[in-house]
Copies of this chain bind each other. A is one copy, B any other.
């Protein structure tokens, strides 16, 4: 197989044409950014992804990580690739210039992180986790903490982790038991955390862990959780009282070390309180949207990679005297993967742009509107795009036939890698609960979204289809809001169907927006884009009729 090639035409078309990136560059926050600059950065990222990250992806899966007497080994080439990644400034792309970041809009950095995950999902997780730590500290750290940690986390000289899960506390974060006891200017942390992504590794000299724990006498449940900074190496150069006990033997993302971390085998690991005690979970929520966007984008990313592999194979593999890409059933599969991937890519960029607007416009009403849109769409994207990541990787494997079931092709790895995304950062079931029990009941949430998205998707070729779809979504939403009051158990039972309906319609809205923005040229890009748009409208969107029917 040849290496992953970033779908740069689609990415630029979405950013610059469909989503009108200029609107962002007109804001003071992005005054120094232009379309030309963004395009140049995207081109460079595409190059780095295909030349540096994609070539080590297969070996990373085959060799994986090992832990020998507490020391983690990562697969060949990963440490070097990370160091080059940092040296080239890629780690700092999404962050504010205030802390040494490059200050690019989310719209651009989301496209770039898609490329990292598409080329090498296990690698891409590392900057994604650091990003979470940067956001937490930027929002809630003291000036001293920002001074100490942000610079090196932004540059990537150090990496960050999120230490939430314990064996008894998965979706039920309130059940965590890790203890934190005040000891002068710091706390002593004792407890065990599981499923810690990049919990330990050899890429950098230090790792900054963001750890949820309870202080003595803290209130029970979610209201008694505090957030601590626990560095692997202390300021005095000594190792903190913590270690990686083991790494998980996972179905996929083998090159990403997922650790069981023990804090405080001896006197207790040194931790520094972020903000106030008992506010930890609230702080975590400030980075939740960004993290969930990142995971949704992983769904897009793995689906794109699977599409490229399946297309290449289908064009090369000859059966009955012609490439199998000419067989109608194979064409159906390829079109399905292409259309689903493109729709979710567009949706993730749309959300990213809304994040930029929510943060950087100076009009309060616009800010609020876009924050509402982001809150509403994040669970939809996280869940639907990651389900699609799995389903499309599985379909791509089917295109390969028997050879796909053999690990050497790499497509089996995609299926294995993709399967984590519906689980972590809040399972897709949790997303459905969030959408139905919280997000749709936000004041005028659906109206805010419809108003904004209809501007770009109505008035084109698929006007009637979209009007019909929005009307169904509106009906289903009103029904669900009522149901959450009358029969919350039933509302939760059908939440996943509702979320899927929402996702399918948002995908269609984005494809309709693409159709509207397409220039009538004869390029290959335009031609194949029209095909995938038409396929989405004719073969994917109609699923909402089924989903509507089962909900009532």
- Find residues 400-453 in chain A having any chain B CB closer than 8 Å to their own CB: 401-408, 412, 415-416, 419-420, 422-424, 427-429, 432-433
Given that A398-B422, A496-B329 are contacting pairs, would A406 and B250 also be in contact in the complex, using a CB cutoff of 8 Å?
Answer: yes
Flag if B405 contacts A172 (CB, 8 Å): no
Cα separation A497 to B398 with both chains bound (whole Å) = 16
Stretch from A76-84, A91-99, A544-552 at the B interface: A544-552
Flag if B172 contacts A319 (CB, 8 Å): yes
| CB-CB nearest in chain B for A547 | B546
Given that A329-B495, A329-B496, A493-B329 are contacting pairs, would A407 and B542 also be in contact in the complex, using a CB cutoff of 8 Å?
Answer: no
A362 within 8 A of B: no
Choose from B172, B332, B406, B415 the contact partner of A493 (Cβ within 8 Å).
B332
A170 within 8 A of B: yes
| A175 neighbours in B (Cβ, 8 Å) | 319-320
Flag if A427 contacts B401 (CB, 8 Å): yes
Choose from B251, B402, B495 the contact partner of A405 (Cβ within 8 Å).
B251
A285 within 8 A of B: no
Interface 0/1 of A150-175, CB less than 8 Å to B? 00000000000000010010111011
| A429 neighbours in B (Cβ, 8 Å) | 327, 329-330, 333, 398
A394 within 8 A of B: yes
Flag if A419 contacts B407 (CB, 8 Å): no
Flag if A171 contacts B328 (CB, 8 Å): no
Q: How far is the CB of A497 from chain B (nearest CB, A)?
A: 8
- Find residues 480-536 in chain A having any chain B CB closer than 8 Å to their own CB: 489-490, 492-497
A368 within 8 A of B: no
Choose from B168, B404, B423 the contact partner of A401 (Cβ within 8 Å).
B423
Interface 0/1 of A248-266, CB less than 8 Å to B? 1111100000000000000
A479 within 8 A of B: no
Cα separation A235 to B50 with both chains bound (whole Å) = 57
| CB-CB nearest in chain B for A390 | B394
Given that A331-B493, A407-B249 are contacting pairs, would A398 and B423 also be in contact in the complex, using a CB cutoff of 8 Å?
Answer: yes
A397 within 8 A of B: yes
| A318 neighbours in B (Cβ, 8 Å) | 168
| A329 neighbours in B (Cβ, 8 Å) | 429, 432-433, 492-493, 495-496
Flag if B250 contacts A405 (CB, 8 Å): yes
| A427 neighbours in B (Cβ, 8 Å) | 398, 401
Given that A319-B171, A546-B542 are contacting pairs, would A398 and B428 also be in contact in the complex, using a CB cutoff of 8 Å?
Answer: yes
Cα separation A527 to B526 with both chains bound (whole Å) = 56
**Contact-residue size bin, chain A (C-beta under 8 Å from the other chain):** 35 or more
Flag if B249 contacts A402 (CB, 8 Å): no
Give chain A's interface secondary structure class. helix
A195 within 8 A of B: yes
Cα separation A319 to B433 with both chains bound (whole Å) = 15
Given that A319-B170, A328-B489, A401-B170 are contacting pairs, would A406 and B550 also be in contact in the complex, using a CB cutoff of 8 Å?
Answer: no
Cα separation A332 to B403 with both chains bound (whole Å) = 34
A543 within 8 A of B: yes
Choose from B194, B248, B332, B397 the contact partner of A419 (Cβ within 8 Å).
B397
A538 within 8 A of B: yes
Most B-side CB within 10 Å, residue of A390, A394, A401: A401
Cα separation A543 to B490 with both chains bound (whole Å) = 20
Cα separation A543 to B318 with both chains bound (whole Å) = 34
Q: How far is the CB of A341 from chain B (nearest CB, A)?
A: 19
Flag if A402 contacts B496 (CB, 8 Å): no
Choose from B165, B489, B542, B550 the contact partner of A402 (Cβ within 8 Å).
B165
| A407 neighbours in B (Cβ, 8 Å) | 249-251
| A494 neighbours in B (Cβ, 8 Å) | 332
| A539 neighbours in B (Cβ, 8 Å) | 497, 550
Cα separation A168 to B495 with both chains bound (whole Å) = 47
| A171 neighbours in B (Cβ, 8 Å) | 319, 401
Flag if A405 contacts B432 (CB, 8 Å): no
Flag if B423 contacts A402 (CB, 8 Å): yes
| A424 neighbours in B (Cβ, 8 Å) | 402
| A397 neighbours in B (Cβ, 8 Å) | 419
Q: How far is the CB of A493 from chain B (nearest CB, A)?
A: 4
| A543 neighbours in B (Cβ, 8 Å) | 546
Interface 0/1 of A161-202, CB less than 8 Å to B? 000010010111011000000000000000000110000000
| A412 neighbours in B (Cβ, 8 Å) | 250-251, 419
Most B-side CB within 10 Å, residue of A194, A408, A427: A427
Cα separation A428 to B402 with both chains bound (whole Å) = 12
| A330 neighbours in B (Cβ, 8 Å) | 429
Known: A398-B422, A416-B416, A542-B546; 5 extra A-B contacts, CB below 8 A, are: A165-B402, A333-B429, A397-B419, A398-B427, A545-B549
Interface residues of A (CB under 8 A from B): 165, 168, 170-172, 174-175, 194-195, 248-252, 318-320, 327-333, 390, 394, 397-398, 401-408, 412, 415-416, 419-420, 422-424, 427-429, 432-433, 489-490, 492-497, 538-539, 542-543, 545-546, 549-550
A-B contact pairs, 29 of them (CB 8 A): A170-B319, A171-B401, A174-B320, A175-B320, A249-B406, A249-B407, A251-B407, A251-B416, A252-B405, A327-B429, A328-B492, A329-B429, A329-B432, A329-B492, A329-B493, A331-B493, A390-B394, A394-B419, A398-B423, A398-B427, A402-B424, A404-B423, A405-B423, A415-B419, A416-B416, A538-B550, A539-B550, A545-B546, A545-B549
